[in-house]
Amino acid sequence: MKVTVLGAGAVGATVGGLLKLYDPTVDVLLFGRGEHSRRLQQAGRVVLNGAWGTRSVPIHASDDVQDVAGSDYVLVTVKSQGTQKAIEMAAPYLGDAVVISLQNGINQQVLGRYVRPDRLLMGLTAMNMAVLEPGVVSLRRKGVTVIGPCSDDVSPEVLNAAVNLLRKARLPMFPERSILGAQYNKVLLNTMGYASVLSNSNFITDGILYRPWRRALALPLLDEGFATLRRAGIPLGRTPGLSDVFRFRNLLRFFGLPGVSPVVRLLLSRVLRPRPLIYSIYPDLIRGRKTEIEYVNGEIVRLAQQHGGSAPFNALVVDMVHELEGQAEVQWFAHDDVIGRFEALR
């Protein structure tokens, strides 16, 4: 069994590394570019940090796309803005491999140009990973991963085999036949998370538990997303656990009850001290790169315009992220200034 991870950054290196850790018989190849990939190649191993402690896992890594050849499964974990280039480059070497996307955006249209419909699976994950330093990745939140087919061409056997394979990584994996609605579920959650990056804020303590931020950003972004999907006729799917956007909306309403937010915020900051969530646009902004904001908040803007509406709150997130992109040293917006700019839209 050969599994290639196409774009082995935080998500790919973590899933691939755990798969190799718990089933050494699987031949896992981490394909990537940049300093992280170079360190993986030099060391011949990936260092995994998580609830299990620290594990150093021997693994193959490469930046030669020809090494994708012979794969039984190809796990696509590149940032959404890199999907076209990555799959176009890998396409001549895919053969009969089952391709599984674990990305934030809605990328099936791009992937479908190069992958047979009966071999393409889309997924989403509520796990939160980060590259701590080149060659070292951290699983910061062990959320649920959902995988499903883009079309009826995918047989139940192909879907179940892919889910069972990834379950070898000892992560919660579930099949989902109606994957598009589940993907948009994750997109709506990320519209709020990406907004918290504007001021380099903790999404929990400085975001949803802070009443002015919750009222000015979180709830309007979420309401706008729900309205856009209704207008587009796209039914939202449900996902297991608190990563489900419907449960999350109820949680925001609960936080709005008198006295709840300060108590929860105090408990989290002083007692539980959870690791802050790191969203994918954060390291790109730090490095002065283009982000995938157009595939998350920008996806809601595009969908609203396509169906005769608008999404001004999501559009403002997109515009502000673009202001931060490409800076030699990113100058984050002040927290109160972000709140003020969004309040002005109401």
Neighbouring residues of 164: CB distance < 8 A, sequence distance ≥ 6: none
| Number of neighbours of residue 321 by Cβ within 10 angstroms | 24
Structural fold of domain 181-343: N-(1-d-carboxylethyl)-l-norvaline Dehydrogenase; domain 2 (1.10.1040)
Q: Model pTM?
A: 0.90
- Section 151-177 average pLDDT: 94
> pLDDT of 234-243, one tens digit each?
999 888 765 7
**193-212 residues labelled b (16+ CB within 10 A) or e (exposed):** bbbbbbbbbbbbbbbbbbee
Choose among 71, 185, 69, 59: nearest CA to 122: 185
pLDDT of residue 270: 62
pLDDT of residue 128: 87
Choose among 260, 271, 143, 269: nearest CA to 204: 269
Distance CA 173, CA 75 (A): 14
pLDDT of residue 26: 97
Domains of the chain by residue range: 2-177, 181-343
Top-confidence residue, 311 or 51: 311
| Number of neighbours of residue 329 by Cβ within 10 angstroms | 6
- Section 269-295 average pLDDT: 84
Distance CA 106, CA 80 (A): 8
8 Å CB contact between 123 and 144: no
Computed over every residue of the chain, the mean pLDDT equals 93
Distance CA 125, CA 12 (A): 11
> pLDDT of 202-233, one tens digit each?
998 899 989 999 999 999 999 999 999 999 99
pLDDT tier at 145 (50, 70, 90 boundaries)? very high
What is the separation of C-alpha 228 from the centre of its chain, rounded to a whole number of angstroms?
21
pLDDT tier at 264 (50, 70, 90 boundaries)? confident
- Section 290-297 average pLDDT: 96
Angle at alpha carbon of residue 239, lines to 228 and 173, rounded to 5°: 135
Choose among 86, 117, 119: nearest CA to 103: 86
- Section 195-207 average pLDDT: 93
Neighbouring residues of 30: CB distance < 8 A, sequence distance ≥ 6: 5, 8, 12, 13, 16, 17, 37, 40, 46, 59, 60, 61, 62
Class of domain 2-177: alpha beta
pLDDT of residue 258: 86
8 Å CB contact between 18 and 10: no
> pLDDT of 2-17, one tens digit each?
999 999 999 999 999 9
> pLDDT of 59-90, one tens digit each?
999 999 999 999 999 999 999 999 999 999 99
What is the separation of C-alpha 205 from the centre of its chain, rounded to a whole number of angstroms?
21
- Section 309-330 average pLDDT: 96
In the chain, % of residues over pLDDT 70 = 97
- Section 190-195 average pLDDT: 97
pLDDT at 272 over 80: no
> pLDDT of 116-130, one tens digit each?
999 999 999 988 898
